[in-house]
Amino acid sequence: MRQKDESISSATGNSMRCTVGLVEDDDVIRENYVDFLQARGFGVRAFGDRLSALGAFRVDTPDVAVLDVALGDERDGGLRLCSELREFSQTLPVIFLTCHDNEVDRIAGLKVGGDDYLSKESSFEFLAVRIETLLERRRAVLESDADGTPSAPVVIGDLSVDSERAEVTWKGRPVRLSLTQYWMVLALASAQPKPRTAAELMRAANISVAPNTVAVHIRSIRARFAAVDQGFDAIRTERGRGYRWML
């Protein structure tokens, strides 16, 4: 059995430079995921509790984080960890992988900045696909930031979008969004005044989820904007058509 806090590296496949930060309190489950991810060519840093993971990630942030929701005695340990990670990284992709697959937990996970929410009943291969998809999105942001050609932010009314850093501001104030939320906001605002369907938002964010999960993301996005502007009302729901960004 591996130790509860470990660092494992792999150097095979296209993912050789990508590191997964895995936080899972069950030793056997953690070992199974580490073995699979390592075989897929990922480097893996695995932890069994929130505090040890947080300390390690502050020093060396992984390329993607996969978090259990309940960690030991902390039923919401993974949610707390995600919120803490968002304090120093908005672009870190975060996937919740958990037995808690009800609507309340899913909403809570997305509200604190999670990008994806998978049941532990999902196959290992599906998890790998979701990880690789999120890494591609993050890589696109990092590459545009490093290509040496600065681009001016896109300004749409009170919204300003910095595509190099996947960051947005509203009325001059930064809005903290996850990568998934950023892509959805960009898709909505760029389509203005036309609405975007849930399917179009999924394609923009490169996710494949139930339509009600898109609705959860939209509620979370509204809450993020409302945190900097209580009067925010730029995202309208249109029954049967989707969502519209209003100037």
pLDDT, one tens digit per residue, over 28-72 is 999 999 999 999 999 999 999 999 999 999 999 999 999 999 999
User: d(Cα 134, Cα 116) in Å, to the nearest integer?
Assistant: 9
**1 has pLDDT over 50:** no
Give the model confidence (pLDDT) of 163-175 as tens digits: 777 789 999 999 9
Q: What share of the chain is helix, strand, coil (3-state, %, to 5)?
A: 40, 20, 40
* Alpha carbon 47 to chain centroid, angstroms: 19
Tokens of 103: 């609507």
Whether residue 95 has pLDDT greater than 60: yes
Average pLDDT for the chain: 84
101 pLDDT band, cuts 50/70/90, is low
- Residue 8 DSSP symbol: E
Sign of the four-CA dihedral 242, 139, 133, 221: negative
Q: How confident is the model at residue 106 (pLDDT cuts 50, 70, 90)?
A: confident
Lowest model confidence (mean pLDDT) among 8-22, 83-97, 147-161, 233-247:
8-22
| Average pLDDT estimate for 129-137 | 86
- What does the pLDDT look like over 183-236, one tens digit per residue? 899 999 989 889 999 989 988 887 766 667 788 889 989 999 999 999 999 999
Residues of the chain above pLDDT 70, percent: 85
How would you classify the pairing of strands 94-98 and 64-67?
parallel
User: Among 192, 247, 195, 242, which residue's Cα sits nearest to residue 217?
Assistant: 242
Spatial neighbors of 19 by CB under 8 A, at least 6 apart, are 9, 42, 43, 44, 45, 62, 63, 64
CA pair distance 55, 60, nearest whole angstrom: 9
pLDDT of the residue at 11: 34
Is the model's pLDDT at 82 over the cut of 90? yes
| Other C-beta atoms lying within 10 Å of the C-beta of residue 153 | 15
d(CA 64, CA 22): 9
Q: pTM of whole model > 0.75?
A: no
Coil, strand or helix: which one is 11? coil
Element (H, E) at 221: helix 211-226
